[in-house]
Structure 1
Amino acid sequence: MSKETDLQVDYDLLSTSAKQLAQIRREFRGLNDWKKDIRPLLGDSRVQGAMGDFVDNWDNNRKRLVEEIEEVGKMVKTTSDAFKGLDDDLANATRGKKK
Protein backbone atom coordinates (compact mmCIF):
# COMPACT_ATOMS: atom_id res chain seq x y z
CA MET A 1 0.00 0.00 0.00
CA SER A 2 1.62 3.21 -1.18
CA LYS A 3 0.62 6.66 -0.08
CA GLU A 4 1.64 9.35 -2.56
CA THR A 5 2.42 12.89 -1.46
CA ASP A 6 3.33 15.91 -3.48
CA LEU A 7 6.51 17.78 -2.81
CA GLN A 8 5.86 21.48 -2.46
CA VAL A 9 8.66 24.02 -2.47
CA ASP A 10 8.07 27.55 -1.20
CA TYR A 11 10.27 29.56 -3.55
CA ASP A 12 9.27 32.81 -1.88
CA LEU A 13 10.46 31.47 1.47
CA LEU A 14 13.75 30.31 -0.03
CA SER A 15 14.26 33.67 -1.75
CA THR A 16 13.39 35.62 1.40
CA SER A 17 15.69 33.41 3.46
CA ALA A 18 18.59 33.98 1.06
CA LYS A 19 18.02 37.75 1.14
CA GLN A 20 17.79 37.81 4.94
CA LEU A 21 20.97 35.76 5.29
CA ALA A 22 22.77 38.15 2.94
CA GLN A 23 21.55 41.11 5.01
CA ILE A 24 22.70 39.48 8.26
CA ARG A 25 26.08 38.75 6.67
CA ARG A 26 26.42 42.40 5.58
CA GLU A 27 25.49 43.60 9.07
CA PHE A 28 28.06 41.33 10.71
CA ARG A 29 30.74 42.31 8.19
CA GLY A 30 29.92 45.97 8.63
CA LEU A 31 30.58 46.04 12.35
CA ASN A 32 33.57 48.24 12.88
CA ASP A 33 36.32 47.78 15.38
CA TRP A 34 34.86 49.98 18.09
CA LYS A 35 37.37 48.89 20.71
CA LYS A 36 39.42 52.06 20.30
CA ASP A 37 36.32 54.24 20.47
CA ILE A 38 35.13 52.90 23.82
CA ARG A 39 38.50 52.54 25.54
CA PRO A 40 38.47 56.07 27.02
CA LEU A 41 34.99 55.47 28.43
CA LEU A 42 36.01 52.37 30.38
CA GLY A 43 38.36 54.00 32.84
CA ASP A 44 40.36 51.41 34.76
CA SER A 45 43.00 49.52 32.77
CA ARG A 46 41.67 46.17 34.05
CA VAL A 47 38.25 46.94 32.62
CA GLN A 48 39.88 48.06 29.38
CA GLY A 49 41.84 44.79 29.23
CA ALA A 50 38.75 42.67 29.91
CA MET A 51 36.75 44.52 27.27
CA GLY A 52 39.66 44.21 24.84
CA ASP A 53 39.67 40.44 25.36
CA PHE A 54 35.91 40.31 24.91
CA VAL A 55 36.02 42.33 21.69
CA ASP A 56 38.89 40.25 20.29
CA ASN A 57 36.92 37.08 21.03
CA TRP A 58 33.80 38.61 19.48
CA ASP A 59 35.77 39.60 16.36
CA ASN A 60 37.03 36.03 15.91
CA ASN A 61 33.59 34.50 16.45
CA ARG A 62 31.94 37.13 14.23
CA LYS A 63 34.28 36.22 11.37
CA ARG A 64 33.38 32.56 11.78
CA LEU A 65 29.66 33.40 11.88
CA VAL A 66 29.97 35.46 8.69
CA GLU A 67 31.59 32.49 6.94
CA GLU A 68 28.91 30.10 8.17
CA ILE A 69 26.07 32.46 7.24
CA GLU A 70 27.57 32.77 3.78
CA GLU A 71 27.70 28.98 3.40
CA VAL A 72 24.07 28.58 4.51
CA GLY A 73 23.07 31.31 2.05
CA LYS A 74 24.81 29.43 -0.75
CA MET A 75 23.01 26.21 0.26
CA VAL A 76 19.64 27.97 0.19
CA LYS A 77 20.36 29.41 -3.27
CA THR A 78 21.59 26.04 -4.58
CA THR A 79 18.49 24.31 -3.19
CA SER A 80 16.18 26.86 -4.78
CA ASP A 81 17.96 26.65 -8.14
CA ALA A 82 17.91 22.85 -8.08
CA PHE A 83 14.18 22.68 -7.35
CA LYS A 84 13.40 25.32 -9.99
CA GLY A 85 15.43 23.37 -12.55
CA LEU A 86 13.71 20.11 -11.65
CA ASP A 87 10.32 21.79 -11.73
CA ASP A 88 11.05 23.22 -15.19
CA ASP A 89 12.30 19.83 -16.45
CA LEU A 90 9.18 18.08 -15.17
CA ALA A 91 6.91 20.74 -16.67
CA ASN A 92 8.66 20.42 -20.04
CA ALA A 93 8.43 16.64 -19.92
CA THR A 94 4.72 16.83 -19.10
CA ARG A 95 4.08 19.27 -21.95
CA GLY A 96 5.91 16.94 -24.33
CA LYS A 97 3.67 13.99 -23.38
CA LYS A 98 0.45 15.97 -23.88
CA LYS A 99 1.22 16.76 -27.53
Structure 2
Amino acid sequence: MAGEGDHQRLDLDVIESMGRGLSSIKKAFDGIGKLENYSDDFGDEHLADKFKDFADNWEISREKLTGEVDALASIAKAAARAYEDIDHQLAEAIRSSQDPTEKGE
Protein backbone atom coordinates (compact mmCIF):
# COMPACT_ATOMS: atom_id res chain seq x y z
CA MET A 1 0.00 0.00 0.00
CA ALA A 2 2.86 2.39 0.65
CA GLY A 3 3.78 2.32 -3.02
CA GLU A 4 0.33 3.55 -4.04
CA GLY A 5 0.66 6.64 -1.83
CA ASP A 6 4.07 7.36 -3.31
CA HIS A 7 2.59 7.16 -6.81
CA GLN A 8 -0.15 9.61 -5.88
CA ARG A 9 2.41 12.03 -4.41
CA LEU A 10 4.48 11.86 -7.57
CA ASP A 11 1.46 12.65 -9.73
CA LEU A 12 0.63 15.69 -7.59
CA ASP A 13 4.22 16.87 -7.84
CA VAL A 14 4.05 16.54 -11.63
CA ILE A 15 0.80 18.50 -11.80
CA GLU A 16 2.20 21.25 -9.53
CA SER A 17 5.40 21.37 -11.56
CA MET A 18 3.43 21.62 -14.79
CA GLY A 19 1.49 24.59 -13.39
CA ARG A 20 4.71 26.37 -12.42
CA GLY A 21 6.30 25.60 -15.78
CA LEU A 22 3.33 26.92 -17.72
CA SER A 23 3.39 30.11 -15.64
CA SER A 24 7.05 30.55 -16.56
CA ILE A 25 6.24 30.11 -20.24
CA LYS A 26 3.50 32.74 -19.98
CA LYS A 27 5.93 35.18 -18.35
CA ALA A 28 8.43 34.57 -21.15
CA PHE A 29 5.78 35.29 -23.80
CA ASP A 30 4.70 38.40 -21.91
CA GLY A 31 8.29 39.63 -21.97
CA ILE A 32 8.68 39.40 -25.74
CA GLY A 33 8.57 42.83 -27.30
CA LYS A 34 6.65 43.77 -30.39
CA LEU A 35 8.34 42.57 -33.58
CA GLU A 36 7.11 45.46 -35.69
CA ASN A 37 9.73 47.70 -34.08
CA TYR A 38 12.28 46.11 -36.43
CA SER A 39 10.48 46.71 -39.72
CA ASP A 40 12.52 49.88 -40.50
CA ASP A 41 15.72 47.82 -40.49
CA PHE A 42 14.85 45.92 -43.68
CA GLY A 43 15.35 48.73 -46.15
CA ASP A 44 13.21 47.15 -48.85
CA GLU A 45 9.60 48.34 -48.48
CA HIS A 46 8.12 45.06 -49.77
CA LEU A 47 10.15 43.02 -47.28
CA ALA A 48 9.27 45.45 -44.47
CA ASP A 49 5.55 45.08 -45.32
CA LYS A 50 5.83 41.29 -45.25
CA PHE A 51 7.59 41.43 -41.91
CA LYS A 52 4.91 43.78 -40.54
CA ASP A 53 2.23 41.27 -41.62
CA PHE A 54 4.16 38.52 -39.88
CA ALA A 55 4.58 40.68 -36.76
CA ASP A 56 0.87 41.50 -36.65
CA ASN A 57 -0.06 37.82 -36.99
CA TRP A 58 2.54 36.87 -34.40
CA GLU A 59 1.10 39.41 -31.94
CA ILE A 60 -2.43 38.04 -32.33
CA SER A 61 -1.23 34.44 -32.06
CA ARG A 62 1.05 35.20 -29.11
CA GLU A 63 -1.82 36.84 -27.21
CA LYS A 64 -4.06 33.82 -27.84
CA LEU A 65 -1.33 31.38 -26.91
CA THR A 66 -0.44 33.35 -23.78
CA GLY A 67 -4.09 33.31 -22.69
CA GLU A 68 -4.36 29.58 -23.25
CA VAL A 69 -1.09 28.84 -21.44
CA ASP A 70 -2.22 31.00 -18.52
CA ALA A 71 -5.54 29.16 -18.35
CA LEU A 72 -3.78 25.77 -18.40
CA ALA A 73 -1.41 26.90 -15.66
CA SER A 74 -4.34 27.96 -13.50
CA ILE A 75 -6.13 24.66 -14.12
CA ALA A 76 -3.04 22.61 -13.24
CA LYS A 77 -2.42 24.57 -10.04
CA ALA A 78 -6.08 24.35 -9.01
CA ALA A 79 -6.15 20.61 -9.75
CA ALA A 80 -3.06 20.01 -7.61
CA ARG A 81 -4.59 22.00 -4.74
CA ALA A 82 -7.90 20.13 -5.07
CA TYR A 83 -6.22 16.70 -5.12
CA GLU A 84 -4.08 17.66 -2.15
CA ASP A 85 -7.17 18.83 -0.25
CA ILE A 86 -9.02 15.60 -1.07
CA ASP A 87 -6.01 13.60 0.09
CA HIS A 88 -5.96 15.45 3.42
CA GLN A 89 -9.74 15.03 3.85
CA LEU A 90 -9.52 11.30 3.15
CA ALA A 91 -6.65 10.87 5.59
CA GLU A 92 -8.58 12.79 8.24
CA ALA A 93 -11.69 10.69 7.62
CA ILE A 94 -9.68 7.50 8.04
CA ARG A 95 -8.05 8.77 11.24
CA SER A 96 -11.35 9.92 12.74
CA SER A 97 -13.12 6.67 11.83
CA GLN A 98 -10.65 4.64 13.84
CA ASP A 99 -11.83 4.42 17.47
CA PRO A 100 -8.74 4.30 19.73
CA THR A 101 -10.73 2.49 22.46
CA GLU A 102 -11.23 -0.55 20.19
CA LYS A 103 -7.48 -1.11 19.83
CA GLY A 104 -7.18 -2.50 23.36
CA GLU A 105 -9.91 -5.13 22.84
Deviation at 1:83, TM superposition (A): 0.6
Deviation at 1:40, TM superposition (A): 3.4
Deviation at 1:21, TM superposition (A): 0.3
Higher mean displacement: 9-18 or 56-65: 9-18
Corresponding residue number in structure 1 for 2:52:
52
Instruction: Structure 1: give runs of 5+ residues left out of the alignment.
Output: 1-5
Could you say which structure has the greater relative contact order, defined with CA pairs below 8 angstroms and 6 or more residues apart?
A: 1
1:8 is paired with a residue of what secondary structure? helix
CA distance in 1, matches of 2:21, 2:44: 40
Instruction: Structure 2: give runs of 5+ residues left out of the alignment.
Output: 100-105
Which runs of structure 2 are paired with 1:13-92 in the superposition (5 Å)? 13-36=14-37, 38-92=38-92
Aligned residues: 93
Deviations 1:36-75 (A, max 9, x none): 2x22331210000000000000000000011101111111
CA distance in 1, matches of 2:75, 2:40: 43
Higher mean displacement: 81-90 or 8-17: 8-17
CA distance in 2, matches of 1:39, 1:87: 54
CA distance in 2, matches of 1:11, 1:98: 27
Larger Rg: 2
Deviation at 1:34, TM superposition (A): 3.3
Deviation at 1:82, TM superposition (A): 1.1
1:32 is paired with a residue of what secondary structure? coil
CA distance in 2, matches of 1:34, 1:14: 33
Q: State the identity %.
A: 26
TM-score of the aligned structures, taking structure 2 as reference length: 0.81
